[in-house]
Amino acid sequence: MDDFTEENLKNNCPHCDPNSFALKYPLEKTSKFWIVCDVHPLTEGHILIIPKKHLSCIGEYQENDYSEFLSLFNKYSDFIRKTYGYVSTFEHGKIGQTVFHSHVHLLPFKGSSIEIIPEGLNNLALFSDFSHLKDVFRKEGKYLYFSIGDKKWVVNTGLGSPRFFRDRFAKAIGNPLRGDWKKMSQNSKLMMEAERDIQDLRDKWNSFKK
């Protein structure tokens, strides 16, 4: 039987181990966060912001973690927007996770919310400030969050499933085979493509920050 206790998840967490494959391609590290290239990118430009502390989602961030996260989020959103033309983000707030440690996805995607949530607008609620996620998490213990451009939404958690946003963004981007990162990791062709995407992203980041 799988052991999903908090202690076991933390002890076997790839985002807690600085030597794990998940953290192989860092763009920056601070005292509180890793900013890395997703090792299973949905597309070139796919970045993760990961707290070093074992936290489940933004909803659990303490104030000092939260303020630094906002600064990093704005910094890397700006990089993606200026480099690729547009930016979208998502996080599985303790639902739909396959790695049980907060990791906020930032990636180039320009489309409509209906491409991600075809079930309809009645399953979406717009919000403007990340503090809303902390309120939702405090009340419900979970959330599904995504953004496209400057618009942010929480999604009806009744729709939630493992890899919820990964699968949907992968399909909308046109790379459906990249949605399931476990299967992707076993596909040598996809991983070679991923390596090229990661290297291109790193080169663009290094040029951008000069």
- Name the DSSP letter for residue 121: G
How confident is residue 70, by pLDDT bands cut at 50, 70 and 90?
Answer: very high
pLDDT of residue 13: 84
Q: Is residue 206 part of a domain?
A: no
Q: Is residue 1 part of a domain?
A: no
How confident is residue 43, by pLDDT bands cut at 50, 70 and 90?
Answer: very high
Q: Is residue 190 part of a domain?
A: yes
Q: Is residue 103 part of a domain?
A: yes
Domains held by the chain: number: 1
3-state per-residue secondary structure call for 46-72: CEEEEECCCCCCHHHCCHHHHHHHHHH
Q: Is residue 42 part of a domain?
A: yes
128-154 pLDDT, tens digit per residue, is: 999 999 999 999 999 999 999 999 999
CATH number for 125:
3.30.428.10
Lowest mean pLDDT among 10-14, 87-91, 175-179, 200-204: 10-14
C-alpha–C-alpha distance, residues 40 and 3, integer Å? 25
Q: Is residue 39 part of a domain?
A: yes
Q: Is residue 164 part of a domain?
A: yes
Q: Is residue 209 part of a domain?
A: no
pTM (2 d.p.): 0.92
Range of the domain at 34: 6-201
Calculate what percentage of the chain has a pLDDT beyond 90.
83
DSSP symbols for 9-60: HHHT-TTT-TTSGGGSSEEEE-SSEEEEE-SS-SSTT-EEEEESS--SSGGG
184-207 pLDDT, tens digit per residue, is: 999 999 999 999 999 999 999 999
Q: Which long-range contacts (CB under 8 A, 24 or more apart) does 47-50 make?
A: 47/76, 47/80, 47/105, 47/106, 47/107, 47/201, 48/103, 48/104, 48/105, 48/106, 49/73, 49/76, 49/103, 49/104, 49/106, 50/15, 50/23, 50/101, 50/102, 50/103, 50/104
Residues 81-100 have a mean pLDDT of 91
